[in-house]
Amino acid sequence: MKSLFKPKPRTPSDIVKQTRDLLLRLTSRDDDNMPDLTKNLRDLKSILYGNSESEPVPEACAQLTQEFFADNTLRLLIQYLPKLNLEARKDATQIVANLQRQQVQSKLIASDYLDTNLDLMDVLVSGYENTDMALHYGAMLRECIRHQIVAKYVLDSPHMKKFFDYIQLPNFDIAADAAATFKELMTRHKSTVADFLSNYYEWFFDEYNSKLLESSNYITRRQAVKLLGDMLLDRTNSAVMTRYVSSRDNLRILMNLLRESSKSIQIEAFHVFKLFAANQKKPADIISIFVANRSKLLRLLGDLKTDKEDEQFEADKAQVIKEIAALEPRDLA
């Protein structure tokens, strides 16, 4: 209790140290610490985010960040989050999120800390299996994977397969949070994603097709076909795209999505479907499907329209129609 008699105001560094001490004492069942801990977390959040009277002070933020990562305060905060009350959990989540973006002498020291403490990501990802913790850990995770080294760790981990289940959890809030994290993982660090998709192409797209694109859940299908388009249209993923649009099974799935009653899904499916048509090295079985369904495809595409006029969409559609109409059975030779 000696620290309680220190003259105020306490420095940001002091607050971090005291917070760490209070977290350590949570291991013993001393609930009397909770009000002090809650207040400390609120104070730390005020330093990082400012409040109605003042803006954040860069020097104070840097000092706080430096002290936070000089020891294992982040580890303690993540591990003991379940013991905190709801308000403290929310403040802690915002603190951790903010710290991922704080620079100390132009350096993101959070990234250095996480590089040597990557096991903390295992805790955060597994949070999706805990209803009470999922949204807090999910928000922290999404900020942490902004660091390339962390994103790579998660992508290469067994957790990736679990995302296909997390995205469809019956608790919609948690499913939506997992979907947001999954999208961030698959789009932010482009060269890392390209390596991931090339290395794990087989199981990843098997899961993607069967669990997401062919899900019975409308939301899941719609999100999945949109994200698929974003991934395949990214220039860094061109090798993966070429491989994906050479598969007859993939074409079947996309053509079925084109027939959906939801126009939103149809439009998103078109953005992927056009890549099959544009492929200048179409395999014979792809050409065969196009020729066999030519009249239906041309009718469906002719009727497909966006709500607002979209010149690029119309140009793409015209190109696809032209490509399909021009296919000759002899192209099968």
Partner 1 sequence: MNSAAVAIKSIDLDLSHPNILWVVMPFMAAGSLQSIISHSHPNGLTEPCIAVVLRDTLYALSYLHGQGHLHRSAITTSSSSSSSLKFTDVAGTPYWMAPEVIHSHTGYSFKADIWSFGITALELAHGRPPLLHLPPSKSMTNPSKRPNADKLLKHPSFKNRKGTDFLVKNVLQGLPSVEKRYKESKGNLHEDDDDPSMQVKQRRISGWNFNQDG
Q: How far is the CB of 285 from partner 1 (least distance, A)?
A: 7
Element (H, E) at 257: helix 248-258
Nearest Cα residue to 208 out of 234, 184, 181, 226 = 226
Residue of the chain from 19, 63, 223, 279 that contacts partner 1 (CB under 8 A): 223
**Of residues 68-107, those binding partner 1 (CB under 8 A):** 94, 98, 101
Q: Which of 303, 307, 311, 328 binds partner 1 (CB under 8 A)?
A: 303
Contact between 252 and partner 1 by CB under 8 A: the answer reads yes
Place of tokens 């899904």: 265
Under DSSP, the state recorded for 55 is P
Residue 300 interacts with partner 1 (CB under 8 A): yes or no: yes
Q: Which is nearer to partner 1, 157 or 306 (CB)?
A: 306
Under the binding rule (CB under 8 A), the answer on residue 52 touching partner 1 is: yes
**Region of 114-122, 132-140, 198-206, 247-255 interacting with partner 1 (CB under 8 A):** 247-255
> Which helix (H) or strand (E) element contains residue 125?
helix 119-126
How buried is residue 295: exposed, middle or buried, by Cβ count under 10 Å (0-12/13-18/19+)? Answer: exposed
Asked if 222 interacts with partner 1 (CB under 8 A), we say yes
Contact 174, 138 (CB under 8 A): yes
**Angle between helices 159-166 and 172-187 in degrees, nearest 10:** 140
In the complex, least distance from residue 255 CB atom to partner 1, rounded to whole angstroms: 5
Crossing angle (nearest 10°) for helices 311-326 and 263-278: 50
| Residue among 17 and 222 whose Cβ is closer to partner 1 | 222
User: Does residue 50 bind partner 1 (CB under 8 A)?
Assistant: yes
Tell me the one-letter amino acid at 89. Answer: R
Listing DSSP states for 282-306 in one string gives: --HHHHHHHHHTHHHHHHHHHH---
Site for partner 1 in 151-180 (CB under 8 A): 172, 176
By CB under 8 A, which span of 46-54, 84-92, 134-142, 271-279 interacts with partner 1? 46-54
Give yes or no for residue 289 binding partner 1 (CB under 8 A): yes
Least CB distance from residue 313 to partner 1, whole Å? 15
Piece of 29-37, 73-81, 107-115, 253-261 that binds partner 1 (CB under 8 A): 253-261
Using alpha carbons only, give the angle 118, 124, 129 rounded to the nearest 5 degrees.
140
* Cα separation, 15 vs 287, whole angstroms: 67
Total chain residues near partner 1 (CB under 8 A): 32
Site residues (CB under 8 A) for partner 1? 48-52, 55-56, 61, 94, 98, 101, 172, 176, 219, 222-223, 248, 252, 255-256, 258-259, 285, 288-289, 292-293, 296, 299-300, 303, 305
